[in-house]
Amino acid sequence: MSQMVRKQIYIRREQDERLKRKARELDVSEAELVRRGIETVLCTTSQEEIRKSAWERLRAGMEERANLKVPQTGRTWTRDEIYEERLERLSH
């Protein structure tokens, strides 16, 4: 392991909350997450690459959600039917 250097940084309160939550979720220290973030930025050569990487992660997450098998509830109505019914009630 390479030699560590201590740094003191300031982050926003909401970042602190999210950092703590993610560290617990991944079972790593907050410092390890900060080091990973720094390494990601240092290894990325441009803002365009950072945006592209973020978009790719977002897209992968959207595709994963789109492929989830969601149990059907057996409903017999559509959203349009509900809207129509409400509009009829309001117009009378």
Q: What is the DSSP letter of 28?
A: S
Task: Name the band, by pLDDT with cuts 50, 70 and 90, for residue 29.
Answer: very high
Q: Provide the pLDDT for residue 66.
A: 87
As a whole number of angstroms, the distance between CA 50 and CA 42 comes to: 11
pLDDT in tens, 64-82: 988 888 777 888 888 899 9
As a whole number of angstroms, the distance between CA 87 and CA 85 comes to: 5
- The pLDDT of 5-27, averaged and rounded, is 94
